[in-house]
Homo-oligomer: A and B are copies of this chain.
Amino acid sequence: MHDTAYNLLHQRHLRYGVRKGEDMTRKEYEGYKYVEGGVCAARGFVANGLNCGINPEKTKNDLGLVYSEKPCATAAVYTQNKVKGAPIFVTQRNLEKSGGISRAVIVNSKNANTCNANGEEVAEAVCELVAEELQIKPEEVIVASTGVIGEPLSVEPFASSMKTLVEGLSVEGHDAVTKAIMTTDTVQKEVAVEFELDGKVCRLGGMAKGSGMIHPNMATTLNFITTDVAISSELLQKALSETVKTTYNCLSVDGDTSTNDMVSVMANGEAGNPPIATDNEAFHTFQKALYIVMKNMTMMLAADGEGASKFLECSCDGAPNQEAAITVAKSVIRSPLVKCAMYGEDANCGRIFCAIGYAEADFDINKVEVELSSSAGKILVFRNGFGVPFSEDEAAEILKEKEIYIHVHLNQGDGHAKAWGCDFTYDYVKINGDYRS
């Protein structure tokens, strides 16, 4: 479909996708550093990925497994969509039954196992296959699927590949599993950090997938995080639930909230730190590591939004409270008109003011200031409720860059937040005009 035109466009507007991590030399990140290894960075985690045949393209991994020999305290957040993938229900039940303990993640791409009459049976059968092969309990398995909604999923490819999948588990397997969860993603997304807790070296790392159908509410696209920190399930859940609010939930590619969104964190305690069981300093050190990893993955997801040619960040400062700041920043990031203007490198700032104005938060528009920036410079475009004249040439220079920043200052409080997204392009329409083929 539309191939000639599409290829023509595609050559001109190469996908953005790749994004360097946040600058970790910044003072606020003192004590943390990036390490390699993604979901296998933390001690005691191994992984693998392969093509089991759900995806007919044999070179594309479609099945992945993460495993910790030691049982892991586990926290998870799920999509708030009323239509939920079968794996969401099964994972919720498993973690309830196991008392918040897990040891493995099994995940497939290409088929979301959602809206299928026998979907939960299939997801349960998959957990049993994993449990049998790894000699663990089925309720210790986190199961997830991503891909097309409403297409039957057979257990067969899982059954025929499980032995190979388990036999191939290794620390290097983070690469294969990260590939297995990709759908329309153009780049792999993983990040890990190292830090210290009570003199013990700890690690926390994760992988993420997601490119379209991204407008998280309470949870997001598929994200799996592992750590060797010793922490109770309760505090792990608290850390995750709080952090998701200012990271994944501030991401919007298209305003569509997926049916299969899930973030899980598994903590196996192999770092040997005194277990975190209260909201103490160690908890805050751990939560910051979680924040760094989740924030980086959020920004990677934004940069690799479907069809994206630019990464967009909107910060909102001086809001009456954090919730208002989140609402305003997300309103700007979500606006299709702002996204199209950014794609066209057109400083049509009225659209930014418009999106601020319809944000469902309580604030005085007459105190608002807006700046636009990139590595090429910064300009003020709006002050006290009115547009400010600016140089179109300067604006054009700023908008030529690949990473564009919109700064909204409400000047009426201490609330602040950031939201992330990407521009709207021909490619988004192309990709989603024939997603299933």
Cβ of A116 within 8 Å of any chain B Cβ, yes or no, is yes
Classify the interface of chain A: helix, strand, loop or mixed.
loop
Which chain B residues border A353 with CB–CB below 8 Å?
83, 114-115, 149-150, 259
A81-B354, A117-B386, A353-B115 are contacts. A348–B425 as well, Cβ < 8 Å?
Answer: no
**Chain B residues closer than 8 Å to A274, beta-carbon distance:** none
Docked Cα-Cα span, A437 to B359, in Å, equals 27
A73-85 interface code vs B (CB 8 A; 1 in, 0 out):
0000000111110
Asked if A385 is at the interface (CB within 8 A of a chain B CB), the reply is yes
The complex places the Cα of A335 from the Cα of B217 at a distance, in Å, of: 15
Instruction: Provide the bound-state CA to CA distance between A282 and B408, in Å.
Output: 51
> Binary interface profile of A, 346-360, with partner B (CB < 8 Å = 1, else 0)?
101111011111110
Q: Is A148 an interface residue (CB 8 A)?
A: yes
Q: Cβ of A357 and Cβ of B83 under 8 Å apart?
A: yes
Residue A81 contacts which of B81, B112, B255, B358 (CB distance < 8 angstroms)? B358
A9 and B1 contacting across the interface, CB-CB below 8 Å: no
The reply on A27 being an interface residue by CB < 8 A is no
Q: Say how many copies of this protein the assembly contains.
A: 2
From A256, A257, A346, residue with most partner B Cβ within 10 Å: A256
Given contacts A350-B150, A354-B83, A116 and B386 within 8 Å (CB-CB):
yes
- Known: A254-B337, A387-B116, A436-B346. Contact between A358 and B82, CB under 8 A? yes
Select the stretch in A175-183, A289-297, A427-435 that faces chain B.
A427-435
Alpha-carbon distance between A213 and B350 when the two chains are bound, in angstroms: 11
6 tightest CB-CB pairs across the interface, nearest first?
A: A149-B350, A344-B433, A83-B357, A150-B387, A340-B432, A81-B357
With both beta carbons as reference points, the residue of chain B lying nearest to A212 in the complex is identified as B337
Q: How many residues of A contact B (CB 8 A)?
A: 70
Contact, CB under 8 Å: A337 / B213: yes
If the complex has contacts A346-B437, A424-B429, are A115 and B387 also in contact, measured as CB distance less than 8 A? yes
Interface string of A415-429 (1 = CB under 8 A from B): 000000000111011
The answer to whether B432 and A337 touch across the interface, beta carbons within 8 angstroms, is: yes
Q: Which of A201-256 contact B (CB under 8 A)?
A: 212-213, 217, 254-256
A85 to chain B, nearest CB (A): 10
Residues B433 and A429 in contact, CB atoms below 8 Å apart: no
Contacts of A428 in B (CB 8 A): 336, 340, 429
A82 touching B365 by the CB < 8 A rule?
A: yes
State whether B386 touches A259 (Cβ < 8 A): no
| Closest B residue by C-beta to A147 | B350
8 A Cβ contacts from A121-159 to B = 148-151
- Whether A433 contacts B341 in the complex (CB less than 8 A), given A83-B365, A150-B350, comes out as yes
Q: Which residues of B contact A350 (CB under 8 A)?
A: 112, 114-115, 148-150, 259
A60 interface residue, CB < 8 Å from B? no
Residues of B within 8 A of A80 (CB): 358
CA distance A258 to B337 in the complex (A): 11
Encode A368-398 as 1/0 by CB contact (under 8 A) with B: 0000000000000110011100000000000
Q: List residues of A (96-130) whose CB comes within 8 Å of B's CBs.
A: 112, 114-117
Q: Is the CB of B217 within 8 A of A344?
A: no
A151 to B347, CA, bound (A): 12
Q: Shortest distance in angstroms between A257's beta carbon and chain B's nearest beta carbon?
A: 4
- Chain B residues contacting A311 (CB-CB under 8 Å) are none
Interface positions of A from 1 to 46, Cβ below 8 Å from B: 1-2, 4-5, 8-9, 12
Chain B contacts of A330 at CB under 8 A? none
Q: Tell me if A286 is interfacial: C-beta within 8 Å of chain B.
A: no
Q: Can you pick out 22 interface pairs between chain A and chain B where the beta carbons lie within 8 Å of each other?
A: A2-B9, A2-B12, A8-B8, A81-B358, A83-B353, A83-B354, A83-B385, A148-B348, A150-B381, A256-B355, A257-B354, A259-B353, A336-B428, A337-B432, A340-B429, A343-B433, A344-B432, A344-B433, A346-B433, A424-B432, A425-B429, A428-B429
